[in-house]
Amino acid sequence: MILLYSQYLYRLNCRFIRPVSTSMRRLAFLLLLLLSFGMVQAQQAPVGPLIRLSPEDEDRRESGPQKNFYFATGDKSTARYQSAGFFGQRLRPYLAGNAAALSSLNAYRRQKWLLLTERLVFVSAVSLYSQQVLAKPSEQQYFNSTQKVAVGVAAFSLLSNVLISYHTNGHFQRAVGEYNAGLSSARVGMVQRLTPSAVGLTAGASGRPQLALSWSLR
């Protein structure tokens, strides 16, 4: 190992030097073959399981229906979709360690709480209006002062539902996308670490040509 200092960073170079003879050529070929196989394996094996949304949920728009998402991990041909839960809680363990994906999932959970609150307000306003209709035994009321307030609250609740629902689905889809993007970055980084930074010939102390492989570790 040779420690090289540069102006911007330290690099640790591991050099494997062999005389270029017939046997060494075979050994070098075998070594390069193993390195190539290792890089292919690293590229094919992600750090974590890939998350796939069901085809219906993958195409669901932000203003689409507010129902549970379904997801699966692993190969598409053997995917078995499961419900992520009302708040996406069943997806959360898979996103551990990915801050961006967890942030989007937290935003999705917040939107679902807002939807629940809006539904509760709307049902309460409708119940209040209905109660006021028969508040007086002698006559039915349909637009007294209390009912006016109930109608206003219900209308505001419906408007809030449209605004809240428009952004909810997008947060969940973004969480899955950010997680999968993180897997791709980690896979590329692993391939880069396995790839030699330099491959070539160099002259030894005796003047004979030698094979040199160099890796740079940061």
Q: pTM (2 decimals)?
A: 0.64
Distance separating alpha carbons of residues 86 and 152, to the nearest angstrom: 29
- The answer to whether the beta carbons of residues 9 and 197 sit under 8 Å apart is no
Q: How far is CA 9 from the centre of its chain?
A: 31
Question: How many Å apart are CA 196 and CA 163, to the nearest integer?
Answer: 53
**Amino acid 194: pLDDT:** 45
Residue 134: predicted pLDDT: 80
- Cβ proximity of 95 and 108 under 8 Å: no
Per-residue pLDDT, 199: 54
Please name the helix (run of DSSP H) or strand (run of DSSP E) that holds residue 131, with its range, or none. helix 99-133
Q: What is the DSSP letter of 208?
A: -
10 Å CB burial of residue 133 (0-12, 13-18, 19+) is: middle
State the Cα–Cα distance between residues 142 and 7, nearest whole angstrom. 81
Angle ∠(72,75,78) on CA atoms, nearest 5: 75
For residues 164 and 118, the answer to whether their CB atoms sit within 8 Å is: yes
CA distances from residue 19 to 26, 101, 122, 201 in whole angstroms, order as listed: 12, 50, 82, 10
Which residue ranges of the chain lie beneath pLDDT 50? 1-20, 37-46, 186-195, 215, 218
In single-letter form, the type of residue at position 104 comes to S
Find where tokens 């598409």 sit.
76
Q: How many CB atoms lie within 10 A of CB 102?
A: 16
Assign 204 to helix, strand or coil: coil
Q: CA–CA separation, 115 vs 110, rounded Å?
A: 9
d(CA 170, CA 69): 11
Calpha distance 198→17 (Å, rounded)? 12
pLDDT digits (tens, 9 = 90+) for 60-113: 887 788 899 999 997 777 778 999 999 999 999 999 989 999 999 999 999 999
d(CA 82, CA 201): 55
